[in-house]
Amino acid sequence: MITALHNFRLISASTVTGTEEIIKSGIAVLLEGKIIKAIVNESVIPADAERIDLLGHYLAPGFIDLQIYGSGGRLLSIDTDEETVLQMETDLLAQGTTGFFPTISTNSDEVIEQTIRVGRSYREKRIGNYLGVHLEGPFLNPIRRGAHNADFIKKASLDQVKQWLELGDGAVKMITIAPELQDQEVIDYLHNKGIIVSSGHSNATYAQGKAFLNKPIPAVTHIYNAMPQMHHRDPGYIPAIFEERPYTSIVPDGIHVDFVMARLAKRELGDRLFFITDAVTETFKGPYQHRFKGDRYTLPDGTLSGSCLTMLKCVENGVKHFKVSLVEAVKMASTYPAQLAKLNKGVVAAGYDADFTVFDDDFVLRGTFLAGERIN
């Protein structure tokens, strides 16, 4: 059975090459099962296709968030169970996010191992937008710990890393580490196992960054946050990121990063800069007690912690404050993270997963499609 989505404005399409394209109308997306079958003129939709009218709204690739900690009052670092991941799946689908890595902050070995077990066992029960676990820590630099609990930060050992990956049986997809403090054998092992190794909460120098970025570390976690800042006599880590251009995430709320600096990062990194929400939820127990302050979350001592962004708000801020086109903002929320994670997603083109976000001119969500099925 063919399903035809029609009457929309397509935020297109052949974005793998990074080519900017206009927003297209008068076409239809044909779905067969979970995959996009073809993009055709609306006039040639097969007569026997099931038609879904999208009422002239934008149709974009489903959003992908590679760093989010919890939702709806449940934080993975505290409520370490399958119910939390289900809550996140449900809430994020209602926000247009069709793929995400639930993320755990630096924690005890026991909590991290329980998170990995949950990530492994939940795969068989998932709705479908859960894609695997992101461990942010505990292998960070305590000098740049930010909101992470210092009691649990430590150097990685190869034996422990092997144990965690074996325990996860493929559930662990991404790890944020401070590379300057880790043994090369640990970094090489993670890379060779296909884990996305991201440099974050790092105090690396310019020279250290030049030595490990893309050699082999392919990513950087939330640029500007929890890293040494630029200085004209001591350039630090950030210029190395700009020169090496790894895939780099940013929290685009104007609070974690001023939009002036966000625009600078976009000019320097181009199609390697992508959005994450870094979103948390209000909690009142355990080592991570986030307090909602209207436009941000902080720890009880006032330390800035996670954001209250959605991926659609990231796109809106990209257009309004990064001063990029709507097409480019959508790519930062879908195409680029999909490329980093090597997913068959993030592009509306034949052969890709049929995951879509539908929204209007006011950035209000109007629908989510996951694996070819309309969710809302």
At CA 320, angle to CA 316 and CA 323, rounded to 5? 115
User: Is residue 278 annotated as part of the catalytic site, yes or no?
Assistant: yes
Residue from 65, 91, 253, 278 carrying the catalytic annotation: 278
Tell me the H-state helices in 228-258: 237-244
Take residue 195 and report the two structure tokens written for it. 């884990």
Handedness of CA 165, 168, 171, 175 (dihedral sign): negative
Peptide bond into 216 cis (omega under 30): yes
Q: Any idea which residues carry the catalytic annotation?
A: 278
